[in-house]
Chains A and B, each alone.
Chain A
Amino acid sequence: MGVFTRRIETAPCTVEISHKFESLHAHVRFNNGATVEPGDEVHVQGPEIMAPFGEIVSEDREAIIVRASALERLWTRLTGDMEVMELCEFSFSEEVKL
């Protein structure tokens, strides 16, 4: 990992989308054990994946992971917390007027 340079790697991944009444969820799992670190960017390749209502769809794709530089990683670790309020839910969007 360079201080200023980003490294690009690809990873095979499985995308699972459940669009069922019992469960609405979606996940991306890297199949080569790759893990995402602060500041990294992930881009799953290929067209949008859809799951019709009532179905679970699972597809194998390739993901491009742009690894953050050491500086970016540090910056993200230092400043990421400032957005932590986004974890809170308030039932409504932040728009003042709809």
Chain B
Amino acid sequence: MNMHSADAETAEEAIAVQEKLDSNMATSMAMEETLLSPRFYTTDFAEMDSINVEPVRKDWDILMTRMVSDPNKGHFKKNEDWDHVDWDGMEPTLKKEFIDFLISSCTSEFSGCVLYKEMKRRGSNKDITQLFQLMARDEARHAGFINDALREAGVAVNLGFLTQKKKYTYFKPKFIYYATYLSEKIGYARYITIFRHLEHHPELRFHPIFKWFREWCNDEFAHGEAFALLMKTDPKLTKGVNVYWIKFFLTAVYATMYVRDHQRPAFHEALGIDPAEYGQEVFAKTSELSKQIFPITLDIDNPRWVRNLVRMQKANVDLAEVAGKAGFGAKIARLISRLRVGTAFILLYAIPSKTHEVPESPRLEPVW
């Protein structure tokens, strides 16, 4: 049996074991390394720890009971549904974009895990630490699953960042709630939309990982529910000046998604998805969900909405064209492109939003 680095007595020995393993693997296929670089930050841990979930106790307990029962345990395993992937036969641009998808997704899950675990560790409030522990579990599980798909594609993740110097920045708890809540809910909407589309067009499913999207996004959904409940414990978070922040996050998250999706045309073409239509569908679903806690939604049917998304996307492409180029002309071109991106964002933000009555209980079930 091969020795593994966990048995090694020194770090040097561990590295030697790892190198041998990697080189064995490299003989069977050329492994490409990708360095995972999650973000490290702090927040007001004391404030988070002082959250009292009593006002939402009933919904909280239902959610926690379900998360503790771990309905997806054992789901993230390769079984006979995991078809063979013809990596060598995959069109090179599609392969590049798909690997970018896997690496970015793995990094997000991994970063989520780092963040949740840190919150769990710094807290003493039993409700809060339990929640973050459970979410860290799910994220690490997803990361492991994606990592395996990456290994099949010949990509090895390097966790060397742990021994590199890292600076810790700071985010206010409320910004973490808005950003993470939206991230989890839009993640659900994105994955379930692709999953349902591929149910109707199984011939377009070019990789088996899409079959796991439903359970994967149900975890995201549950995490979003938890953040909705956390926000519900403090009505100030969704009132007054914070509504402007909510609008900012909604606009920024939707616009960024639109821009990024359009940067991966081969991925979407292979799935038979038009990124613009897909975007609108995902925004509509996310808005419907976010009514559970946010008093506003964006008016995505306003003609200015799509018009300015397109402007932003174009300006972003032009910005990339001149990025890294030297000279005064390039500097001016960069400045102009940045101004265009900024203007498009302001115009998107300026579209009047729709207001809603927020329900007493935010609780929702994944229905799509």
Contacts and interface: CB of A to CB of B under 8 A. Distances in A.
Interface of A: 15, 17-29, 35-59, 61, 76-77, 80-81, 83-98
Interface residues of B, number: 84
B159 A49 contact: yes
Contacts, number: 207
A23 B159 contact: no
Given A38-B168, A41-B167, A24 B100 contact: no
A39 B21 contact: no
Interface stretch (B52-60, B82-90, B137-145, B298-306): B137-145
Contacts of A96: 263, 316-317, 319-320
Contacts of A43: 163-166
Contacts of A42: 40, 165-166, 168
Interface string B7-46: 0000110110110010000000000000000011110000
B155 to A, nearest CB: 12
B15 A88 contact: no
A20 B178 CA distance: 31
Given A38-B169, A92-B104, A84 B175 contact: yes
Contacts of A36: 42, 168
29 contacts: A24-B113, A28-B162, A35-B122, A36-B42, A38-B41, A39-B168, A41-B165, A41-B166, A42-B165, A43-B163, A43-B165, A46-B11, A49-B11, A51-B5, A57-B14, A61-B163, A76-B170, A77-B170, A81-B175, A85-B253, A86-B39, A87-B171, A87-B183, A88-B252, A88-B253, A90-B256, A91-B260, A93-B100, A96-B320
A84 B179 contact: yes
Contacts of A97: 263, 320
